[in-house]
Chain A
Amino acid sequence: MNSYITKRLVSAVITLLLIATLTFVMMHSIPGGPFTRERPVPDEILRTLNEKYHLDDPLPKQYFDYMKGLITFDLGPSYSKIGTTVNELIAGGFPDSARVGGLASILIIVMGIPLGIISALKQNKTIDYFVMFMATLGVTVPSFVIATVIIYIFAGQLGWLPSFGLSSPLGYIGPVLALAGYSISFVTRLTRSSMLEVLRQDYIRTARANGIPEFWVIAKHAVKNALIPVVTYLGPMVAAILTGSFVVERIFAIGGMGRYFVESVSNRDYTTIMGMTVFYAAFYIIMVLLVDLAYGLIDPRIRLGKEE
């Protein structure tokens, strides 16, 4: 087990370095540097700027310098926000994104999974139809529509919620709902179909035949096995949600990572783009690793570290 985790961690680091390299190549292959503006900057200033940020070095040297920084968790200075480092930008944006994203993830788990289970147990009953109807609606409405409707009705017409910012606890309600809406519906549908499949299995019938109380049949035998596809979906989703959604952050005016990311790409702020991409990728890889570890906990038959 430990050797498996070590192996996965090593491969995660290699993947990260590859991603950083790929982003580096992509960023440096686009025409124009970070200081290209609509109005040309005087050559003198451009040269000084390039010198200051070592952009006049040969590309391989820039690459190795960047990689050296990356290994020591130094993501370099931001090119567009003069005087701040990428580490500071991430440290500034991540907490807000993570708080909203964390609440949304919790909401998705505590709403989506139980609703899916209930709906599967009551298949073709009224409650199943109702839950599935809501869940189908949920996957058809884009998050920006949910967000604008929340703002329009609850912030505009009724005035119950603030329309922007996170300064009051009420401010979280809108972004969390907008962020979670789609995934709650998706998780509900996924849990339901997975539960239905598990409930048809022979071992559930065996468990019932053995006289195990229905509650334990469901809780211990059915739910546990039905959760595998759900966990697979939840891992990458949590990574994406925690690192910020551009749409929700823009509509609710939250200064999170999603906003910085899109801003930095349009400003051609190489280091910020690379830093945030690597940060997101690291998060993603860790979540995928956690998912794989969770498989082992849920289903002991899935033995980790076993070569195919």
Chain B
Amino acid sequence: MSDSRFEFVGEISEDLESVRPSLTYWADAWRRLKKNKLSMMGIAIIIFTILFGVVGPFLTPYSYSDQINDFRNTPPRLELYAAGDTYLYLTNDYILLEVSENGNIQRRLERIEKDIFNKIYVYEMDGEAVTVDFSYNTLPTKQGYDYDFTIEYMGQVENQPAFTKWNKSFPFGSDGLGRDLLTRVMYGARISLFVAFVATLVNLFIGVIYGSIAGFEGGRVDNIMMRIVDIINSIPLVLYVILLMVWFRNNGLWNIIIALSSVYWVSMARLVRGQMLALKEQEFVLAAITLGVPKRKIIFRHLIPNAMGPIIVAMAMMIPSAVFTEAFLSFIGLGVSAPMASWGVLANNALSGLTTYPYQLFFPALAIAFTMLAFNFLGDGLRDALDPRLRKG
């Protein structure tokens, strides 16, 4: 064979057998979590919601308690009626508002005459009368129209809206007291998330310590500690909250947090106990005991770090359930007191006027649903990323 049939490939500079950099448990979990699109979306939504609640209120011109009574119950979509060179919007409580062409609410028009018998109201705009006739489809003589009212301004009668515009003044609409719903939903995010995070942290703290002591000690200690957990678990949450309310003589943020914290840790304690029961039989614990490592050190240095995966997954699932419970407690009237508002309070407030103003329920409910969805996605992703049993598969 001649040399010409061989080709010189050059010097081999690198090791052909490349060694993958070894990844720690957490780096590996993060790598897998990053691949999970839904989880990353969940994280994005959570970050957005936090920003929405923390930064958002500074960007709106209103505070959560500002009441503009003239502009109450305006929906996010406005049906505008032409009147001269400006536009009018009639709310469901017969308030006539002047709205600019791009959807900014300008002012409320004064009502100067009210004819209840004929169902005709007269309003005043810049010295001219605006007559609104509500009699269509209500008086027996005026049946079968496809519109319910007409607006007359300087001889020009309108019975169909000129166009529908987004409400620029109140993007989510305003509530029954003329408060901006967008601002209130933002503040709601603050309160709901704050309650959820604080309650979850407290639960984590109590639940992990309690559960690891019960699981590690075992025997009679474990038995008594778990019976206490059973007892706490079988008393309804509502009872704790109402008792706290009466004790502290107010219903505030901290009552909900204390109530949630005093109950929710039991599920965490159960989980950690189960982990401990399995972990403490392993050799490294035996080694530690033989070396005379004190119990506390074994629990905190050896056992808890090894149970961190399931604990974090449980935490991610606990936050949405705390948001849910907070919403539920607020909904039944045990939540934060007015004028503060969490999402549950907003939903509760919207309930009475649901048939007329469905948008007032829509936005807080949407906010709750989005947050729940985000945390659920994140929790599912974390479970896949942290669960060692799935790693082999």
A residues touching B (Cβ–Cβ < 8 Å)?
A: 11, 15, 18-19, 22-23, 26-27, 29-32, 136-137, 139-145, 148, 151-152, 156, 197, 200, 246-247, 250-251, 261-262, 265-266, 268, 273, 277, 280-281, 284-285, 288, 308
Contacts and interface: CB of A to CB of B under 8 A. Distances in A.
Contacts of A308: 218
- The list of the 5 closest CB pairs from A to B, nearest first, reads A140-B372, A281-B234, A265-B242, A145-B365, A140-B369
Interface in B33-50: none
Contact of A277 (B227, B233, B236): B236
A156 B376 contact: no
21 contacts: A15-B231, A19-B235, A29-B247, A31-B249, A137-B373, A139-B376, A140-B372, A140-B373, A141-B365, A141-B372, A142-B327, A142-B331, A142-B344, A144-B348, A145-B361, A148-B354, A246-B332, A247-B331, A251-B351, A265-B242, A266-B242
A200 B238 CA distance: 41
B358 interface: yes
B372 A22 contact: no
B47 to A, nearest CB: 18
B393 interface: yes
A30 B235 contact: no
B361 A148 contact: yes
Given A142-B327, A152-B358, A285-B234, A30 B369 contact: no
Contacts of B351: 144, 148, 251
Contact of A22 (B235, B249, B324): B235
Interface residues of B, number: 38
B141 to A, nearest CB: 27
Contacts of A23: 235, 239
Interface of B: 218, 227, 230-231, 233-236, 238-239, 242-243, 246-247, 249, 320, 324, 327-328, 331-332, 344, 347-348, 351, 354-355, 358, 361, 365, 368-370, 372-373, 376, 389, 393
Contact of B234 (A27, A142, A156, A280): A280
Interface of A is mostly: helix
A144 B231 contact: no
Contacts of B218: 308
B246 A15 contact: no
A250 B239 CA distance: 17
Contacts of B328: 142-144, 247
A124 B281 CA distance: 38
A15 B230 contact: yes
A262 to B, nearest CB: 6
A18 B231 contact: yes
B365 A265 contact: no
B230 A246 contact: no
A141 B332 CA distance: 16
Contacts of B233: 284
Contacts of A200: 393
Contacts of B365: 141-142, 145
Contacts of A281: 234-235
A27 B246 CA distance: 10
A280 B324 contact: no
A237 B231 CA distance: 16
Contacts of A250: 332
Contact of A30 (B247, B348, B393): B247
Contact of B376 (A136, A268, A280): A136
A181 to B, nearest CB: 12
A137 B249 CA distance: 38
Contact of A261 (B236, B376, B393): B236
Contact of A247 (B243, B332, B358, B361): B332
A284 B361 contact: no
A115 B36 CA distance: 24
A140 B376 contact: yes
